[in-house]
Amino acid sequence: MKRRGIFLLLTRREKNSRPIPIGVKSREAAQRLARHGRNELSEGRRRPPWRILLDQFADFMIVVLIAAAVVSGVIGEPQDTIAIIAILVLNAVIGFIQEYRAERAMAALKRIAAPGASVLRAGRRVTLAAHELVPGDVVALEAGNIVPADLRLTEAVRLQVNESALTGESAAVEKTVAALRDAEAPLGDRRNMGYKGTIVSYGRGRGIVVATGMATELGRIATLLAAADDNKTPLQKRLARFGGRLAMAVLAICAIISSPDCYVVSNRYLCSSPR
């Protein structure tokens, strides 16, 4: 069931003062699990550390600097060679640390996910692994619990949730079951919602699962992290183009300087030694 459909069902039941659903049946839960997938963050293909380090030397400008270090060593300029190598190593170390931390960001998001959840299935309260949750499940929350999925709260008894993992706000948020006036309210102002990965700091409550896995707000952050690894910023693209042009210009100047001077003397073609 899509998130909007669950909201409409819940709204109708609230308006008609009918009992809120107390969970889905096992057969329906299995069908929804097959349709929506497991309630977990999918991790893309992770690069091994050696590949991250090797990629630091794949830039065209870096290749030119490596060639310059080799040439400096061949012609007997050890000081220039050492200086260039030091710059290359420092650049590689800094780049490796930054990219390695970015690669581990997804693992950090997965670590804050709840391992299990207390769920009402067909009127019975059972404990399930969090990855088995499906849209429509009714989840019970207590102090100390990690919210296992995105929930529309249906019961909140002095319920406070720490949402710093999503909003950066350290203070716990007081939750309510009242409908929001603004459907496009910012994440931190959605007081009738509980989000995957946040922590219940006080009180108790209950909510209906409206999103699982990568469809949750935490999953959207994971999607943005994966996209940031694959796509370069406009500044990075411009610097790469500028570095390539600069390298070509330097190579052209070097070729002109090192080329011999040739003259025609008495119908003979004579060339001097390279400068």
- Strands (E) across the chain are located at 116-121, 124-129, 138-142, 150-162, 173-174, 193-194, 199-211, 262-265, 268-271
Q: What is the mean pLDDT of each run of 10 residues along the chain (275 residues)?
A: 49 47 79 88 75 80 80 79 86 84 71 80 85 90 90 90 83 86 79 89 91 87 69 66 75 66 52 52
Please give the Cα distance from 70 to 58 (Å, whole number): 17
Residue 244 has a pLDDT of 73
Residue 11 has a pLDDT of 43
Q: Residue 48 is encoded by which pair of tokens?
A: 């091994």
Q: Is 60 left (phi over 0), alpha (psi -120 to 50) or beta?
A: alpha
Residue 229 has a pLDDT of 54
Single pTM value for the model: 0.62
Closest CA to 164 of 192, 186, 197: 197
Neighbours of 227 (CB within 10 A): 10
